[in-house]
Chain A
Amino acid sequence: MDEKTQKLMENDCKVYVAVNADITAEGQVLPRSFVWEDGVRYEIDRVLDVRRAASLKAGGAGLRYTVKIQGRERYLWLEDDGGGRWFMERRA
């Protein structure tokens, strides 16, 4: 792959995060906190919604959690790539 293609395939809007989650007795996964790339841990106050969705901004698809963090609504994705990783969109 040439340099130009490589540059175009870089993706700086997608941030993979470490997540602490609870798994309910029914098997539902509920994220409780995550660690942003700067090392700061954020608590998730509430999970407001869970649905399948794509992220055009970060580039990917999976199970999208709408979560409340410090009074603000944010999206958190459990990516559908078989790797079980979580990602968020970087805000410009």
Chain B
Amino acid sequence: MPRTVLHADMNNCYASIEMLHHPRLRGHPVAVGGSAEERHGIILARNYEARPFGVKVGQALWQARQLCPDLVIVPPDYDKYMRFSKMFRDILGSYSPLVEPFGLDESWVDISQSLQGRTGGEVADEIRERVKFELGITVSVGVSFNKIFAKLGSDMKKPDATTVITEDNFRETVWGLPAADLLGVGRSTQKKLQMYNIKTIGDIARLGADQLQTWFGKWGLYLYAYAAGLDSSPVREIGDESAVKSVGNSTTCPRDLENDEDAHIVFLNLAESVAERMRELGLQAKTVQISLRQNDLYWFERQTGLERPTFIATELCGAAMKLLRANYDWRKPLRSVGIRGTNLIPIDAPYQLMLFEDEEKRLKSERIEYALDDIRRRFGHHSVNRGLLLLDRKLGRLDAKADNTIHPVGYL
């Protein structure tokens, strides 16, 4: 018996919420973007009026203004977006307990067991009407027999539309779409596919699992399953998302970073907040990842395993700096950097002591970090700081924890 999976996507979420609250904005090209003063200058969302001008999510504010001089840029209000996100999920949750959020503005819902004689399309239409009436925001819904096609469907018709992809029609509706539309096909996969002249989702499916595995390894098998409609990954229940897979933080710096010392200040700052959050969650990381964005916006990530798991800021920062030194030559300044602890295990998991390391000293570092948490909880984040952060007050001043980036956890 095929499943009925919905993927619901709030259209232009942040921009729509702002337009709801500020009626005068309606009819104008509007974008939500980070404050230009701190140079967090990218477009986070834009409305349909801004689209014909070529304004896109991720563009620098100055770029967007160049394309659309009348663009109204509104600063983001994450508290408001979180509230709407929760109300949105509450509505979805009234149809099925199986709701899996993907970022703030998208969720999958498995309604196979709660159709009560209705079709998936009918339920999707009702959800759209309810969200529009109760939250004042339009939603696109994809209905299909797996999560991948449901997500694809919600992207096909926008705004305020339902797209149904069935086992009978997916070859006609999906296979003609560009390969890049498939969830999981990022920039580098797309490049590689292009090299092999694979243009559409149908091309991927027709290639077969064996060939894809030869080219992409294990990832190739996923790609094949996604394209051929064989994805069987379940919609996880609400609450499951608290099974945290990584804790990370990134920031666009108040000025471009030019050398290791600059990066050290920012990494330490970010590592402190990451370490603090890991301790809050009772987790420690076995792997550290860094992400680097140059001032020409070229972006890449590097990661390394740790000799032993840690929740100590200086150790996370040390690993990040080691990665940076090994992978970056400062030919171009860095615009933004991020650090993430992944491969998380509980803090109290047993671990192998090191023969040539001073255990006593390490335990002391742990105690210092807990003491820092306590002081900050009682007197505020900036009541105590590392001396290094004073070297450059502008770079050191970021309150990294309050500046968390909000983005979906990885699909896999």
Q: Which residues of A contact B (CB under 8 A)?
A: 1, 4-5, 7-11, 13, 52-61, 80-82
Contacts and interface: CB of A to CB of B under 8 A. Distances in A.
B73 A11 contact: no
B24 A11 contact: yes
A61 B73 contact: no
Contacts, number: 57
B23 A56 contact: yes
A13 B79 CA distance: 23
B22 A54 contact: no
Given A9-B22, A81-B83, A82-B83, A61 B72 contact: no
A29 to B, nearest CB: 18
Contacts of B239: none
Contact of B24 (A1, A10, A80, A81): A10
Given A5-B72, A5-B73, A57 B20 contact: no
A7 B136 CA distance: 22
A61 B135 CA distance: 6
Given A55-B136, A61-B134, A80 B87 contact: yes
Contact of A80 (B72, B74, B83, B133): B83
B357 to A, nearest CB: 48
B72 A60 contact: no
Contacts of A56: 20, 23, 136
A13 to B, nearest CB: 6
A61 B75 CA distance: 20
B28 interface: yes
A11 B20 CA distance: 11
Contacts of A59: 20-23
A8 B28 contact: yes
A11 B21 contact: yes
Interface in B134-156: 134-137
A80 B136 CA distance: 13
B80 interface: yes
A81 to B, nearest CB: 7
Given A5-B72, A8-B72, A61 B28 contact: no
B25 A53 contact: no
A54 B20 contact: yes
25 contacts: A4-B72, A5-B72, A5-B73, A7-B24, A8-B22, A8-B28, A10-B22, A10-B24, A11-B22, A52-B87, A53-B134, A54-B132, A56-B20, A56-B23, A59-B21, A59-B22, A59-B23, A60-B20, A60-B21, A61-B20, A61-B84, A61-B87, A61-B136, A81-B83, A82-B83
B131 to A, nearest CB: 9
Contacts of B28: 8
